[in-house]
Structure 1
């Protein structure tokens, strides 16, 4: 379990140019294999490794000291590590009855070396171990981003993947300084993406800070998510609350978040929509209101239009959600489905003498190669038609060239080419497409237009007293205005021509 870390600025928001100790980094093992790691400084033996903290992968071992203070995106080679006393414990057995010890050698508890001379190499432990590069492989060190975190996070629920998250944040206009409500934090994929979208720098007095108010009903997921946000340094941007929003609503500490964007990833979003209103929701049939109820506090921004998105996997959920939105006064309701498709770019390699690689078209790439292959086949046919033994009874010598090439004639000069530069560049779509993750329903709740707002608008944009409106101006006045404009334009042209002629006369004179 990673230790709880305190960050002034989250590495998801401002990672900096290089890796830092006590911070999160993501190790890329392959194209789609990412491992999140909290980098630690080497401070003596750790888990039996004298190099300190070490991460072991299928491509080798990587001490944290080789991953620290390197530029993001660096390629790091594996290192040969010394296991030290890992897995070996001090063994001492006393035969109390015989009053003697066993004959096994007893090692000192402070001893960190092993039989290969590690003690001489480390001395008293003050000198750092000189790491030796291993030929097993390499990895890349990447900064933590919401996109990479989505591919490597521990899945506790269904995850909002990057294609959906990016489109949702665009449609609900989440930008620096926005306030966003998220119901159903789950595994935290969308939480990290929305935190980066609303982040607008360090707190400044008088400046509205971007905030994400996230709600999670499941207690175990809430505690895990709370710890992840603390470890990632997002406490200043994300406020996580353990609550059933169907019954408890969206207020935080009894105060309104004043949200201008809402994202609901709930199994029944239509039950939470009445609480996302600027007016007290109407009581359902059979419910009785409490006497002396508190004044209604809306979680939405009072002076802005609010944009909403719901994330539902079933069309039946969409139907009930749209019906509730229409009943509650939401407008511009639209359902969208995202179908993500990846395009793979590769070289279209063609040739008869290429190795049997995946994706290679084993046919002649040109006429010369086809003729060479036919000549080889005819020569092989004539060779097989010859008698197996000569006249003196001895077997003819085998051709060394064919024995060396296993019956294949190498292409002249082709071995000098790099295989990844040979062939045309071809782009193909992936064969299997994920056609459905969930249905996205978008809607807008306009701001309440009061009489005060109408008076302010009328004072700023008066109606009925405009001077330059087509309906007010007559045709004669419009023609006169155009005539004056044309005369002024011609006068300006004549004056410019006169100035030019005067300058030319001065130069010639």
Structure 2
């Protein structure tokens, strides 16, 4: 039996047609798209993704190694819009448009896109983490810091069955599917032979996620996403009110090989509901006592079915935004026999860890504070600044005096040479400019040789010194938390429901292990 490969389990080494790809514009800006090589009625280049960094035809994204930097293409997105959105035109304009359409390439042949002068994106494979950052939000999303802790605390492993109530946008659904996936039913036929494959199908337990969603429109959208992502053989979406109808599935739901009276046969429960305590009455191993236990005359009592796996303990987690919901949930868990109840609050923050180096010698060095480390260092810097200013002003005064002496010398020469031609004025002006340039050059050389080092010189020297020593070992190691919480606060309630222990189980245990 052939199965469509799921890019979340095995994306391969490169992108392919009709699979999900993620366009990474920035670290926190991702765009999901189903790659397609089919012709488009809108663009001669085929299906096109338009972003803030340029336009990217899918023909440039398919069969590319994951992580490739894809350059933007030149695509006319202005005059070729979607059908039905064009404004009404007269007969003459309509005739011109038909002539332009005749000159364009046919839909059966794509035009090779020309590379633009700027703009690019990175093509990365889909994972539950990247999908959480770019999925279409239909409800509040369970983010990576939350569901990673939840799956670890619930001990999710390949082959487990998970019940999820409140599928919402499908963030936890994708993460749970990856955690329990251990192969597709029937894929071992060619490897083990016909007889062995039948035995394998009967004994091997394949991981499944049974997701329930009350909102019909959201459930339909999630079914379409699961189908397009290749998760149909692992995830089952059901539109149901679990408060009243419970979690058991009829035998006609899902593939026949997976359907039995024991579905969903769950090992793990995750409830992201407004009132999770109302759904706990359906998560028991035996029927609850009812005041109307005797059936009416002429009716057949409905046999009790538990959605839980009878062969192992079941672990549960409820996701609640306020403490009042947690209190009601814990009360219901105790009433229905759940044990090891605990509550965890998730608050995700980023830590900025670095080494702090202080001193004027660290001026301009990255990660260092260029303030004075000691009083002696601060006084020396003040002396350098004041000495540089004093010497600079002194040189300015000396330069002005030198200029005045040159001018006086020139005037004196003019008086000695009376009666000269009128062109002498030009020569005098030239001599004045030359004298001024010479004085400026001499003053600059003298100033540079006597002044303390400038800020530019200090920065260059500090960077040169930093490259010659292990700066990562110097200074004091400090850390700083973010001022604001990036992910929303949540309360996670965990509990365990042990498996039933009958007299037969007790006798078998005594025979095997003794008293």
Where on the TM-score scale, by shorter chain, does this alignment land: which range?
0.7 to 0.9
Aligned to 2:344, which of 336, 339, 342? 336
Which residue number in structure 2 is paired with residue 57 of structure 1? 51
1:63 to 1:383, Cα distance in 2 relative to 1, 3 A: farther
Whether 1:450 aligns to 2:502 is yes
Which residue number in structure 1 is paired with residue 424 of structure 2? none
1:349 to 1:305, Cα distance in 2 relative to 1, 3 A: same
Deviation of residue 58 (structure 1)?
2.5
Which residue number in structure 2 is paired with residue 271 of structure 1? 278
Which residue number in structure 1 is paired with residue 114 of structure 2? 131
Worse-matched range after superposition: 377-386 or 152-161: 377-386
Deviation of residue 140 (structure 1)?
1.7
Whether 1:179 aligns to 2:161 is yes
Whether 1:260 aligns to 2:261 is no
Worse-matched range after superposition: 54-63 or 287-296: 287-296
1:16 to 1:346, Cα distance in 2 relative to 1, 3 A: farther
Deviation of residue 130 (structure 1)?
6.1
Which residue number in structure 1 is paired with residue 171 of structure 2? 189
Deviation of residue 85 (structure 1)?
5.1
Give the Cα separation in 1 of the matches to 2:117 and 2:111.
18
Which residue number in structure 1 is paired with residue 192 of structure 2? none
- Aligned residue for 2:230, secondary structure, equals coil
Which residue number in structure 2 is paired with residue 308 of structure 1? 316
Give the Cα separation in 2 of the matches to 1:57 and 1:154.
17
1:177 to 1:92, Cα distance in 2 relative to 1, 3 A: closer
| CA deviation string 1:177-224 (max 9, x = no partner) | 101111110111111111111110121422211111111111221122
Aligned to 2:215, which of 211, 214, 218? 218
Which residue number in structure 1 is paired with residue 67 of structure 2? 73
Structure 1 length as normaliser, TM-score? Answer: 0.72
Deviation of residue 59 (structure 1)?
2.4
| CA deviation string 1:348-391 (max 9, x = no partner) | 79898999999774558999999899757744554456259642
Give the Cα separation in 1 of the matches to 2:337 and 2:47.
57
Asked whether the 8 Å contact 2:73–2:113 carries over to 1, the reply is: no
Within 5 Å, give how 1:144-163 maps onto structure 2.
Answer: 144-163=126-145
Deviation of residue 55 (structure 1)?
2.0
- Aligned residue for 1:109, secondary structure, equals helix
Give the Cα separation in 1 of the matches to 2:154 and 2:146.
12
1:274 to 1:93, Cα distance in 2 relative to 1, 3 A: closer
Deviation of residue 77 (structure 1)?
2.9
Asked whether the 8 Å contact 1:10–1:232 carries over to 2, the reply is: yes
Give the Cα separation in 2 of the matches to 1:153 and 1:333.
33
Give the Cα separation in 2 of the matches to 1:365 and 1:65.
59
Asked whether the 8 Å contact 2:360–2:377 carries over to 1, the reply is: no
Asked whether the 8 Å contact 1:157–1:187 carries over to 2, the reply is: yes
Bigger relative contact order, structure 1 or 2 (CA pairs below 8 A, ≥6 apart): 2
Give the Cα separation in 2 of the matches to 1:290 and 1:178.
36
Task: Give 5+ residue unaligned stretches, structure 1.
Answer: 1-5, 96-100, 113-121, 464-509
Which residue number in structure 1 is paired with residue 124 of structure 2? 142
Which residue number in structure 2 is paired with residue 11 of structure 1? 7
Structure 2 length as normaliser, TM-score? Answer: 0.71
- Aligned residue for 1:156, secondary structure, equals coil
Asked whether the 8 Å contact 1:28–1:140 carries over to 2, the reply is: yes
Give the Cα separation in 1 of the matches to 2:320 and 2:31.
29
Aligned to 1:409, which of 456, 460, 467? 456
Asked whether the 8 Å contact 1:312–1:440 carries over to 2, the reply is: yes
Deviation of residue 342 (structure 1)?
2.1
Deviation of residue 141 (structure 1)?
1.4
Asked whether the 8 Å contact 2:35–2:62 carries over to 1, the reply is: yes
Which residue number in structure 2 is paired with residue 295 of structure 1? 303
Worse-matched range after superposition: 201-210 or 426-435: 426-435
1:326 to 1:69, Cα distance in 2 relative to 1, 3 A: same
Deviation of residue 264 (structure 1)?
0.7
Give the Cα separation in 2 of the matches to 1:195 and 1:12.
9
Which residue number in structure 2 is paired with residue 167 of structure 1? 149
Which residue number in structure 1 is paired with residue 101 of structure 2? 109
